[in-house]
A and B are shown apart, each in its own frame.
Chain A
């Protein structure tokens, strides 16, 4: 086994003062959850202000790194080689061997940074830096030392055992799930909403999701697509409870009663209302949408104002200032893009008018909604009550 251990680097949670242990414990919990899906046994330990993942059995390196890259709160993953303390001379030889294996191409600049936690070690950190640097330069004349801006930083940590590492794999960043509240994501089959869910989850927020299903206008495959998207996001955020709301009746009622160019905006107001009702039932303290200013008629600032007006919970719109391509980039990165572009109709597009309003007036919209007074409350109750819940993980 090449690496025995991974040093987990985290950034923001280090700054949380007295709450630090809460964040660290949450991170350790999340790392354990993600490693459950991976073959092999691991110990996740906190030691002198650092988190280590120690392998207790054989494991697949790539699989473990992929799993760790999905844990929010991790900034960097450093695969470490652990050496037993068999004397200083042996250590110097081992490090030369380590560099030889790790870097087939020796044209690089480096710096050695030794650190002793074990102060009884007979050699000082500065002496180690100088000696190991000399060894590497002698063994591989193509290498150069650069103390200001090295391409390779060789870390040597002298503890009970000796840790050697030189590579840092970028982690997902953010904060560990469970260190913040819970929010309700309005999940369609599109590209934007899974990205929005991912981005809020990244800040440590637990996620539930609501999907508006409109049979026979949307198919079982469209629903399956949303389940698959929720599963993809759950790969990062942990299990997501997906609430599937049957929206057909409400949609057709709006279609019958209200002006056609206002259909989408009124529909979205009812989606927000229903999402908020379910959010309140399930203890969510915010809504999340994938809206981005100006992307479509229902996402102009005027439309957003009108949609927003029905909500009392804060609505988080993490991609609000993103261009489409920027959203697509994230979607590709987190693996939702391929699913999002499958060609199944979602309920927002079926009846969309050729020229929907782009500057809706709140008073006009409210007046149109009075035409729904007779049945809409009952329909909303039914929609909320008859929803289907699917755990996506």
Chain B
């Protein structure tokens, strides 16, 4: 039995998406900038994708710019804002549980002379809004706050945070890394005061190597990639037409089937949560049901090293990740788990289970059975 419980790392592409992409690669492979009919056909795929995405967020198609994925979108939001607004101020605010795509970009900006403040989180992983209120200044040009944390699934109070920021400094831009949130939660940038929003395609059963950034039409940022002037100069480079079309369809499928998909994913989460709770020495870091993201369960296993349990589960056909897959190449302990105050001895004992539309509650049972079987054995053989 194979159980893929690592959908926060990446997902299986929906077969309908694959089919569309293959058709485009085989038949409609024109360059959207070409003047003949093939160019127009390609351009229309991009237009359609933009419309599909715009409708899922209730924004305008012209506010969507396609990128190579979440990391580029995050880079563009941060560097693009910094470049466009450095004369107004050099202060940027973020929080201490962000993804490396945000952290590392801010590190770069810090070297370029920007001042960065990080807001802390509570034990549930929610940002401290009081601290945010105290940190916003007249020269703050950008606040960047993730929508859903990738390691524990905490949902941040984005609308509330944006309201606070804008009430103090109406000129400040608000960016959210919505890579784990898009599709899973209903997001309305206009209502929630979001100016910039990053999304990746491969977390919603779309292909890798593509994503988008929503840029509110009232907001001006600089491009970070230069060339042939595609996408109204905001992101040069021949558009990844099959990828963009695939993302568009994946977005539409998620949006049209939202209720059904979330119900399905939540059923898996609830089953796994319920089972794990009953096992001795297991501590859940994610919240139950819809209090945290529907697709993520984080749990710490006393007396077991995460990597060993992970490989033991692998042996049973169950694929999960330790911490966040994006950072698992570095044995460095997760910043998020530390930030929410997970006990030191459990930091290295934490696994993340994440679900997609192809999972079923039965798989959560199989996974739990495996864990129940493995834990006593693994606990017996530990370093003394």
Q: Is the CB of B384 within 8 A of A216?
A: no
Within the complex, the shortest CB–CB distance from B384 to chain A, in Å, comes to: 5
Within the complex, the shortest CB–CB distance from A267 to chain B, in Å, comes to: 13
Q: Cα distance A216–B316 when bound, in Å?
A: 11
| Contact partners of B311 in chain A: CB under 8 A | 215-219
Q: Cα distance A246–B214 when bound, in Å?
A: 51
Q: Is the CB of B381 within 8 A of A219?
A: no
What residue of chain B has the Cβ atom nearest to residue A352's Cβ? B383
Q: Is the CB of A216 within 8 A of B381?
A: no
Q: Is the CB of A216 within 8 A of B331?
A: no
| Contact partners of A260 in chain B: CB under 8 A | 384
What residue of chain B has the Cβ atom nearest to residue A343's Cβ? B331
A353 at the interface (CB under 8 A from B): yes
Q: Cα distance A218–B308 when bound, in Å?
A: 8
Q: Is the CB of A255 within 8 A of B307?
A: no
Q: Is the CB of B307 within 8 A of A252?
A: no
A216-B314, A216-B315 as given contacts; A353 in contact with B384, CB under 8 Å: yes
Encoded as 1 (CB less than 8 Å from any B CB) or 0, chain A from 338 to 366 comes to 00000101000011111000000000000
A219-B307, A343-B331, A345-B307 as given contacts; A354 in contact with B384, CB under 8 Å: yes
Within the complex, the shortest CB–CB distance from B383 to chain A, in Å, comes to: 6
A219-B307, A343-B331 as given contacts; A255 in contact with B381, CB under 8 Å: yes
Q: Is the CB of A216 within 8 A of B383?
A: no
Within the complex, the shortest CB–CB distance from A111 to chain B, in Å, comes to: 54
Within the complex, the shortest CB–CB distance from B328 to chain A, in Å, comes to: 10
| Contact partners of B381 in chain A: CB under 8 A | 252, 255, 351
B312 at the interface (CB under 8 A from A): yes
Q: Cα distance A255–B377 when bound, in Å?
A: 13
Q: Is the CB of A351 within 8 A of B383?
A: yes
Encoded as 1 (CB less than 8 Å from any A CB) or 0, chain B from 354 to 384 comes to 0000000000000000000000000001111
What residue of chain B has the Cβ atom nearest to residue A217's Cβ? B308
| Contact partners of B383 in chain A: CB under 8 A | 350-354
| Contact partners of A343 in chain B: CB under 8 A | 329-331
| Contact partners of A350 in chain B: CB under 8 A | 308, 383
Grouping DSSP codes into helix (H, G, I), strand (E, B) and loop, the B interface class, with mixed when no group exceeds half, is helix
Q: Interface residues of A toward B: which range?
A: 10 to 19
B273-312 at interface with A (beta carbon < 8 Å): 307-312
Grouping DSSP codes into helix (H, G, I), strand (E, B) and loop, the A interface class, with mixed when no group exceeds half, is loop
Q: Cα distance A352–B308 when bound, in Å?
A: 15
| Contact partners of B307 in chain A: CB under 8 A | 219, 345
Within the complex, the shortest CB–CB distance from A74 to chain B, in Å, comes to: 38
What residue of chain A has the Cβ atom nearest to residue B331's Cβ? A343
The residue that A216 contacts in the complex, of B312, B330, B382, with Cβ under 8 A, is B312
Within the complex, the shortest CB–CB distance from A386 to chain B, in Å, comes to: 15
Q: Cα distance A252–B307 when bound, in Å?
A: 17
What residue of chain A has the Cβ atom nearest to residue B311's Cβ? A216
Q: Is the CB of B384 within 8 A of A215?
A: no
Q: Is the CB of B315 within 8 A of A215?
A: yes
| Contact partners of B329 in chain A: CB under 8 A | 343
| Contact partners of A219 in chain B: CB under 8 A | 307, 311
B314-358 at interface with A (beta carbon < 8 Å): 314-315, 329-331
Within the complex, the shortest CB–CB distance from B358 to chain A, in Å, comes to: 23
| Contact partners of B314 in chain A: CB under 8 A | 216
Q: Cα distance A217–B383 when bound, in Å?
A: 12
Q: Cα distance A14–B381 when bound, in Å?
A: 57
Q: Cα distance A106–B89 when bound, in Å?
A: 57
Q: Cα distance A129–B384 when bound, in Å?
A: 75
Q: Cα distance A357–B315 when bound, in Å?
A: 33
What residue of chain A has the Cβ atom nearest to residue B378's Cβ? A216
| Contact partners of B382 in chain A: CB under 8 A | 351
Q: Cα distance A219–B308 when bound, in Å?
A: 8
A216-261 at interface with B (beta carbon < 8 Å): 216-219, 252, 255, 260
Interface centre among A216, A217, A260, A350 (most CB of B within 10 A): A216
| Contact partners of A345 in chain B: CB under 8 A | 307
Q: Cα distance A218–B329 when bound, in Å?
A: 14
Q: Cα distance A353–B315 when bound, in Å?
A: 26
| Contact partners of A218 in chain B: CB under 8 A | 311
Within the complex, the shortest CB–CB distance from A97 to chain B, in Å, comes to: 46
| Contact partners of B331 in chain A: CB under 8 A | 343
| Contact partners of B309 in chain A: CB under 8 A | 216
Interface centre among A218, A350, A354 (most CB of B within 10 A): A350
What residue of chain B has the Cβ atom nearest to residue A350's Cβ? B383
| Contact partners of A353 in chain B: CB under 8 A | 383-384
Q: Cα distance A218–B314 when bound, in Å?
A: 12
Within the complex, the shortest CB–CB distance from B306 to chain A, in Å, comes to: 11
What residue of chain B has the Cβ atom nearest to residue A251's Cβ? B381
Q: Cα distance A354–B384 when bound, in Å?
A: 7
Q: Cα distance A315–B331 when bound, in Å?
A: 35
Interface centre among B308, B315, B382 (most CB of A within 10 A): B308
Q: Cα distance A255–B382 when bound, in Å?
A: 9
| Contact partners of A255 in chain B: CB under 8 A | 381
| Contact partners of A217 in chain B: CB under 8 A | 308, 311
Q: Cα distance A220–B342 when bound, in Å?
A: 29
| Contact partners of B315 in chain A: CB under 8 A | 215-216
Encoded as 1 (CB less than 8 Å from any A CB) or 0, chain B from 130 to 169 comes to 0000000000000000000000000000000000000000
* Closest 6 pairs (CB-CB, A-B): A216-B311, A216-B312, A343-B331, A260-B384, A219-B311, A216-B308
Q: What are 22 A-B pairs at a CB distance below 8 A?
A: A215-B311, A215-B315, A216-B308, A216-B309, A216-B310, A216-B311, A216-B312, A216-B313, A216-B314, A216-B315, A217-B308, A217-B311, A219-B311, A252-B381, A255-B381, A343-B330, A345-B307, A350-B383, A351-B381, A351-B383, A353-B384, A354-B383
- State the B residues within 8 Å of A (CB): 307-315, 329-331, 381-384
New A-B pairs, 18, CB < 8 Å, besides A215-B315, A216-B309, A219-B311: A216-B308, A216-B310, A216-B311, A216-B313, A217-B308, A217-B311, A218-B311, A219-B307, A252-B381, A260-B384, A343-B330, A345-B307, A350-B308, A351-B381, A351-B383, A353-B383, A353-B384, A354-B384
